[in-house]
Structure 1
């Protein structure tokens, strides 16, 4: 019987190959650039601490800033802000996270 290198169930992902992560209780779905979806037993908070280049836009979503295509800002205070990713997936920016997220997006010149 062959022994697996490293701990069982432990995987190392290249953050540059991850488009975004979706949280589901204590698990995460990693959506990769090549279209693959991987289930991980880590939480979004763990990934957010490990990968500071990712942006938490919602309670259930952590996105890679490198793959943001554009931002659809709200027209007025009752509308919702959205971020559109490279694969055309839209993520709502949570109302309470807007003050932290929009300055980062304006630095990337995605919001005017």
Structure 2
């Protein structure tokens, strides 16, 4: 599945999954942050979108992140752990999720460190 169909007012909008940076809950609505576009508000709960986007990581009660856009993960020597996204955004990770996500994010950091610097 390369795209996801989402209701947008009276139409359905097709969004490429790879372009979604992260999603943020707002009650019964969700805000999608898509690379190169304005945030998009849709009338679907974050929980339902999490079911449709199984590869995304829940870093907080109200936040899902596309791991493809994570460029760094910081949990040492900082007051609260966070992920840094490719658009220079930092999203905090809840204490509850830190332990569960640490192995996934640490392996992601190792993979990033192995990439040659251009």
| Same fold, judged at TM 0.5 (above) | yes
Number of residues of Structure 1 aligned to a counterpart in Structure 2: 104
Q: Deviations over 1:54-85 (max 9, x none)?
A: 10000111110000010111338xx3111111
User: In the alignment, what sits opposite 1:96?
Assistant: 96
User: In the alignment, what sits opposite 2:116?
Assistant: none
Query: SS at 1:87's partner residue?
Result: coil
Shift of 1:22: 0.9
Structure 2 residue 28 is the aligned partner of structure 1 residue 26: yes
Q: Deviations over 1:9-59 (max 9, x none)?
A: 443322111011111011011010113211110111111111111100001
Q: Distance in 1 between matches of 2:80 and 2:76?
A: 5
Q: Aligned-pair RMSD on alpha carbons?
A: 2.2
Show structure 1 runs of 4+ deviating over 4 A.
Answer: none
- Flag the 1:12–1:35 CA change in 2: closer, same or farther, 3 A: closer
Structure number, greater radius of gyration: 1
Query: SS at 1:12's partner residue?
Result: strand
Query: SS at 2:32's partner residue?
Result: strand
Structure 2: gaps of 5 or more residues: 1-6, 114-118
Contact 2:29 / 2:43 at 8 angstroms: preserved in 1? yes
User: In the alignment, what sits opposite 2:19?
Assistant: 17
Contact 2:32 / 2:40 at 8 angstroms: preserved in 1? yes
Structure 1: gaps of 5 or more residues: 1-6
